[in-house]
Amino acid sequence: MTADRKSWLARSDGTVVIGHGPFIPKPKPPSEGVAFYKRDFFSREELPWHVPARYEVMSAAKFRETLGGDLQLDVVWEVPDAMPFSCVFQEVMIRIRQGMIEKTVPVVTERGNVSHSPAAAIIAAMARQKAPLHSYGWVSDADGFAGATPELLFSLDGHRLETMALAGTARLEDEDVFAVDEKEIREHEYVAQTLVSKVLDLGTLHRREREVLRLGSIVHFHTGFTVDLVDPQDTDSLLRRLHPTPALGPLPRTDQTMAALADWRSQLDCPAEFGAPFGVCENGRFEAVVAIRGLWWQGNKIALPAGCGIIEASRLVNEWREIRLKCDAVKRFLI
């Protein structure tokens, strides 16, 4: 248990749930009250639910007013080395040509250093971010992670399940050509169609039109889904069913392709929780986001991970450019 730990998640309804330590880890969430869900990407923890000593729920506006101060963080970023990613990219393309995978998502991590604990400034930076971004965090002065993600894994409220496909990335100024880019559309549809296959048997599925989601300096393809459930669903089983989506995981998702992804993430020194579900359950209502667009820190060391979806049509220089674009978007949170 960590007394100085703090956790939060900004939900789709415009409220923010904040938990204050110490947190007690549990195998299941309580039927009443609040528990935060935190696991690494490969779901290795046996006690993923964390019950805070106390919690509060406030509006997003109040959250920004309370925690989103103008603290600045001066980070000395190390120059990223493209060579390790190039090696992984070539390994991935070999697997694709051999027919072992259709798509996977390696992660590059940029590193930086600060002169003092970055926790307060990072919390303030992420608290300032507004919808459609979901601010999230699991932090103490010594270590933690926090971000503002555009990706909802799913929300579950009674018989209503909400989820989304978010894949395909470009600069804002390239939006017109992005909207008709065959490779980006194909990558997005890999994610969307796989998601449909995972939820179609749960109830009546409503798929909205694919749209371009504008997020500051970058754009993504976004498709929203609603499922009217036939039967009540267990949160843990839905987490196993939906994580990882092909937006962050391999396609197809098998023990073999997950093991390969684990190896590539290890080679590139990816933080364990990057791309994992991060959620909160309040009195049976659950919402989880995908932990991307964030910063991880330990002491005065900062990590900024970003992934890219590799398919047969991918090119090394374009994927490296996408990773840099995503890293720059996170750095803008700190301004």
In angstroms, the CA 11 to CA 50 distance is 18
Query: At residue 1, does pLDDT exceed 80?
Result: no
Superfamily of domain 6-62+73-333: Anthranilate synthase (3.60.120.10)
Those residues with Cβ within 8 angstroms of residue 31's Cβ, 6 or more apart along the chain or in another chain: 283, 284
What percentage of the chain carries pLDDT values higher than 70?
99
**pTM confidence score:** 0.94
DSSP string, 277-324: EEEEEETTEEEEEE--SEEEEETTEEEEEEE--B-TT--HHHHHHHHH
- List pLDDT tens digits, range 228-282: 999 999 999 999 999 998 889 999 999 999 999 999 999 999 999 999 999 999 9
pLDDT tens per residue, range 61-88: 999 999 988 888 899 999 999 999 999 9
Residue-level pLDDT at 245: 86
Domain ranges, ordered by start, for the chain? 6-62+73-333
Q: Which tens digit of pLDDT belongs to each residue from 233-242?
A: 999 999 999 9
| Cα 195 to Cα 233, 250, 278, distances in angstroms | 17, 13, 19
